[in-house]
């Protein structure tokens, strides 16, 4: 019996590579860990707000690193906070991804070579996407997550040139 509605226009069998299906699911559900380090965190919170609304691209915040697969490093990484950032990263489940948001997280920004500032969070954890600016606008963070989605979709999938 045919089910009425849109289903009658779809084929009975759809083929896809498992890796691409998994990547599709992961790319569209990048849940980010809710923590902020400095002023960039305000822009991150704004990105989750009604104007840019990260939820619509599948990114919602989680208050536990064990339920998050995206770390947005939003702000200055001080020497004091660096071990905490590393611990939170280690507690996240694989596969996990990192966005370095703003000049401070990327290379220390205005505090470059300051005695108490790590000159780039990539000195302690691997970074997938960097966002320029001081501070970057929420739209820039949305763009970075869309770029990360592209990257996640390509994991383990060979593309023809
Ligand atoms: S990059 Fe600018 S806005 Fe962001 S944490 Fe550093 S000083 Fe603040």
Identify the band that residue 2 occupies on the pLDDT scale cut at 50, 70 and 90: low
Q: What is the pLDDT of residue 128?
A: 97
Residue 119 CA to its chain's centroid (Å): 20
Check residues 35 and 152 and name the one with the higher pLDDT. Answer: 152
Going by the DSSP 8-state scheme, the letter that residue 103 receives in this structure is H
Point out the ligand 1 atom lying closest to the alpha carbon of residue 76.
5
What residue segments make up the domains of the chain, in order of their start? 23-153
pLDDT at 86 over 90: yes
Classify domain 23-153 by CATH number. 3.40.50.12280
The packing angle between helices 138-153 and 40-47, to 10°, is 70
**Which residue has the CA at smallest separation from atom 6 of ligand 1?**
104
pLDDT > 90: percent of the chain = 83
**Does residue 161 carry a pLDDT above 50?**
no
Residues 6+ apart with CB under 8 A from 116: 78, 79, 80
Mean pLDDT of the chain: 91
Residue 3: pLDDT band by 50, 70, 90 thresholds? low
Residue 70 in this model has a pLDDT that exceeds 70: yes
The more confidently predicted of residues 8 and 119 is: 119
Residues 10-64 pLDDT 10s: 777 777 888 999 999 999 999 999 989 999 999 999 999 999 999 999 999 999 9
For residue 119, the number of C-alpha atoms closer than 13 Å in the C-beta half-sphere is 4
pLDDT tens per residue across span 25-38: 999 999 999 989 99
Burial class (CB in 10 A: 0-12, 13-18, 19+), 77: buried
The answer on whether 39 is annotated among ligand-binding residues is yes
Q: To test the ligand 1 pocket, which listed residue (36, 37, 38, 72) has its Cβ within 8 A of the most ligand atoms?
A: 38
- In sequence order, which residues have a C-beta less than 8 Å from that of residue 11 and are 6 or more positions away? none
Query: For residue range 98-115, what is the model confidence (pLDDT) as tens digits?
Result: 999 999 999 999 999 999
Distance 53 CA to ligand 1 centre (A): 21
Residue 71 DSSP one-character state: E
């Amino acid at each position: 019996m045919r089910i009425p509605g849109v289903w009658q226009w779809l084929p009975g069998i759809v083929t896809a590579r498992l890796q691409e299906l998994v990547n599709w699911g992961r790319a569209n559900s990048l849940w980010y860990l809710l923590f902020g380090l400095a002023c960039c965190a305000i822009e991150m919170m704004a990105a989750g707000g009604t104007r840019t609304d990260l939820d619509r691209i599948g990114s919602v915040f989680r208050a536990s690193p064990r339920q998050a697969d995206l770390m947005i490093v939003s702000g200055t990484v001080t020497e004091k906070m660096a071990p905490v950032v590393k611990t939170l990263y280690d507690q996240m489940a694989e596969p996990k991804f990192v966005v370095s948001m703003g000049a401070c997280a990327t290379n220390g920004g205005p505090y470059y070579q300051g005695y108490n500032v790590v000159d780039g969070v990539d000195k302690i954890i691997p970074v997938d996407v960097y966002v320029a600016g001081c501070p970057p606008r929420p739209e820039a963070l949305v763009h970075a997550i869309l770029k990360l989605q592209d990257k996640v979709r390509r994991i383990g999938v060979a593309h023809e040139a």
